[in-house]
Amino acid sequence: MSSAYDSKNEENFEAVSRAIDAALEKIAKDPSIPATISRLAKLANVHRNTLYFRQWPKARIEEIKTKRAQQKKDHAAAKAASGSPEEQLERSRLEIIYWFTQLQDARADSASQARTIKQTAAARDYYKEENQKLLHKINEMHHENQQLHNMVDVLEQEIASGQRQPNR
């Protein structure tokens, strides 16, 4: 009985392997199909975990991704190399304009940030000075308050000593 289950399991395993292989071939041939485990699972009609437990589908997906990236690079290089000298000159001119504009924007941003830093520093210095003035004023008021307390103490002592002594 165990061998019947084993043979059925092996048949299922082989069927799933063939479905995965067919889906990988489909993904490799059609660049519009994303080379992802999720897409492979949908095309093979299996669960993603089935693919994660097998190492070869993940490795094959990575190969397809690498191959597509290389094809993109090759295509971009071929496109850049192709064209008449006038077209290449025009592309170069447009790229120079683009980078010049980027430079001008960066300079403007830098100047704006420099102005903001100067304004912030000036405001900091102003409030630092105001803080010092107010601290000085607070210290003067504390000193004056202390003098008033001392005068009150003296007057209270005089009043207390005057009440103890009978009028002469």
Question: Mind listing the pLDDT tens digit for each residue in 106-132?
Answer: 999 999 999 999 999 999 999 999 999
For 30-50, how does the pLDDT look when each residue is reduced to its tens digit (9 = 90+)?
A: 989 999 999 999 999 999 888
Tokens 């009150």 correspond to 152
Q: Kindly state the tokens that stand for 63.
A: 């190969």
Q: In this predicted structure, what is the pLDDT of residue 28?
A: 93
pTM over 0.85: no
Residue 3: pLDDT band with limits 50, 70, 90: confident
DSSP string, 59-127: HHHHHHHHHHHHHHHHHHHHHHH-S-HHHHHHHHHHHHHHHHHHHHHHHHHHHHHHHHHHHHHHHHHHH
**103 within some domain:** yes
**157 within some domain:** no
Q: Kindly state the tokens that stand for 86.
A: 């006038």
Comparing 165 with 9, the larger pLDDT belongs to: 9
Contact 55, 37 (CB under 8 A): no
Residue 75: pLDDT band with limits 50, 70, 90: confident
pLDDT exceeds 80 at position 167 = no
∠ CA(100), CA(101), CA(104), 5° rounding?
90
Comparing 161 with 150, the larger pLDDT belongs to: 150
Comparing 154 with 3, the larger pLDDT belongs to: 154
Tally of domains within the chain = 1
Kindly report which listed range (5-14, 37-46, 133-142) carries the lowest average pLDDT score. 5-14
Residue 165: pLDDT band with limits 50, 70, 90: low
Comparing 43 with 166, the larger pLDDT belongs to: 43
**134 within some domain:** no
**164 within some domain:** no
Comparing 49 with 149, the larger pLDDT belongs to: 149
Domain extent for 27: 2-121
- C-alpha 168/C-alpha 159 separation (Å) is 15
CB atoms within 10 A of CB 88: 13
**152 within some domain:** no
Contact 24, 65 (CB under 8 A): no
**25 within some domain:** yes
